[in-house]
Amino acid sequence: MPKTIVDLVILNAKQLLTMVPSESDEEGENPLGIIEDGAVAVKDGKIFAVGKTNDVLAQIDFKKDTVQIDADGKVVMPGFVDPHTHVVFKGTREREFILRHQGVPYMKILKEENTGIISTVRWTRKAKFEELLEITKKHISEMIDWGTTTLEIKSGYGLNLEEEIKILRIARYLGEHSPLNIKTTLLAAHIIPPEYHMRDEKYVDLVISDIIPIIAKNGLADFNDVWCEKGAFTREQAKKILRVGIKNGLIPKVHADEMSDAGGAKLAAEVKAISADHLTYASEEGLEKMKEAGVVAVLLPVTTFSLGKDKFADGGKMVEMGLTVALGTDYNPGTSMCPSMPLVISFAVVRLKMDIVSALYGATLNAAKAIGLENEVGSLEVGKRANVNVLNIKNYEEIPYRIGENYVETVISNGEILKGGPNA
Ligand code: NIG
Ligand code: FE
């Protein structure tokens, strides 16, 4: 058989996590599809071959500049997928974090004039496109350092047409001008902006009649999200906004049941959202309905931790119920200045009561499902985009165990090396 010349190859991995269980594994003994002494070869930004090192070597040839990475003694896995971020913002809110942990509730801070989401909106509106782009690049470079190669980016700190457009243009620009895989979400319905104080319905009208149609027409967003919560948007308002989104071709998502059971999970099922996110207080009935409707549950445990709450979403139960459970950072200046999916996995195992296999799917293939990219990313399969991490650990169980340690040594997205490489 003629051999194919490849651009990059990773060889000799102690454990290569494909996230594709083999068909012969009827007992489910290898749910992560681990290949020992594994290799993955890359051509034109895509995965060309995956398997035992000898089998991959038998299929490939080298050119002068083929990159060879020796993963001897290490773990290789798909790049992390972060399905819920608010990375486009200016300004940080560390004082609020401290205040919260001295007893001031998040929802009280939110209601003030110059703190909470509103303060981020003010800073973000003032920043010019180029400045905000540079800040966002910095946030994302931290995520890459922790192995994230695919992410969803929400707007929601503009809260008027012009500013939501600015934020989503930055997200789209990064999707088009970087090797990362990026999906974008309109979150015009994050909170009611200050200029519409006590005129909620007028803002909902603006979102419905102007913001959604124009954003959709210009191809700036893939999804349409609403924060359904007392103090943000009611169930009725949220439903209206999501339905108009659907008519305009935007797939619904919901910030659901984060601070209380506001019926967000049920709403997500009703509108057939691609995902419902947070779900800390979701009712059992809501979760059942989500399962029936095929809504992915996106859990964001670092947010719960940062809010100082004792109650975390019950990820273990959701897995048991048969829901597709994904994990994300929720990177934002209010509740999660956390770029690290490995840390999220630690939280999932410790506080969401998820088993390690579910947590690893949550950070890869299931997260890809939450943003409609499961055929492109999230597993190591021939033909998928070459998003691969080399971890300087000897087995996958160390991923949640090494809390806060950055063992991500090499990061490859669409075949491009973003961190590390042959000499890492
Ligand atoms: O997902 N819940 C609403 N939005 C964000 C927080 C945004 C902020 O505080 O700036 C979240 O937690
Ligand atoms: Fe969020």
Per domain, the residue ranges of the chain are 4-78+380-419, 80-369
- Three-state DSSP at 66 gives strand
Residue 68 Cα to ligand 2 middle (Å): 39
> For position 114, what pLDDT does the model report?
82
CA 35 to ligand 2 centroid distance, Å: 35
In degrees rounded to 5, what are phi and psi of residue 152?
Answer: -100, 140
The answer to whether the predicted template modeling score (pTM) of the entire model surpasses 0.85 is yes
Element (H, E) at 407: none
Centre of ligand 1 to C-alpha 195, Å, is: 20
Residue 22 confidence (pLDDT): 87
333 within ligand 1 shell (Cβ under 6 A): yes
CATH class of 80-369: alpha beta
Alpha helices in 22-160 (DSSP H): 53-59, 94-100, 106-111, 116-126, 129-145
Q: Which of 24, 33, 38, 118 is nearest to 71 (CA)?
A: 38
Output phi, psi for 196, to 5 deg. -110, 20
Pocket perturbation via mutation, ligand 1, pick of 330, 336, 344 by most ligand atoms within 8 A of CB: 330
The domain defined by 4-78+380-419 folds into Urease, subunit C; domain 1 (2.30.40)
Q: Are 132 and 124 in contact (CB under 8 A)?
A: yes
Is residue 409 lining ligand 1, measured as CB closer than 6 Å? Answer: no
pLDDT-flagged residues of the chain (< 70): none
Whether ligand 1 lies within 6 angstroms of the CB of 330 is answered as yes
Residue 256 falls in which region: left (phi positive, over 0), alpha (psi -120 to 50) or beta? beta
CB 190 within 8 A of CB 196: no
- How do residues 114-171 score in pLDDT, each as one tens digit? 889 999 999 999 999 999 999 999 999 999 999 999 999 999 999 999 999 999 999 9
> What is the residue with the minimal CA distance to atom 1 of ligand 1?
330
80-369 shares the fold of 4-78+380-419 = no
Contacts of 122 (CB under 8 A, 6+ apart): 114
Ligand 1 centre distance from Cα of residue 6 (Å) = 43
Are the C-beta atoms of 355 and 320 separated by less than 8 Å?
no
What Cα–Cα distance (Å) separates residue 294 from each residue in 75, 288, 414? Answer: 32, 10, 29
User: Residue 254: its pLDDT value, please?
Assistant: 98
d(CA 408, CA 410): 6
d(CA 351, CA 417): 33
Predicted confidence at residue 23, as pLDDT, reads: 86
Question: DSSP secondary-structure letter at 250?
Answer: P
The Cα–Cα gap between 76 and 10 comes to 9
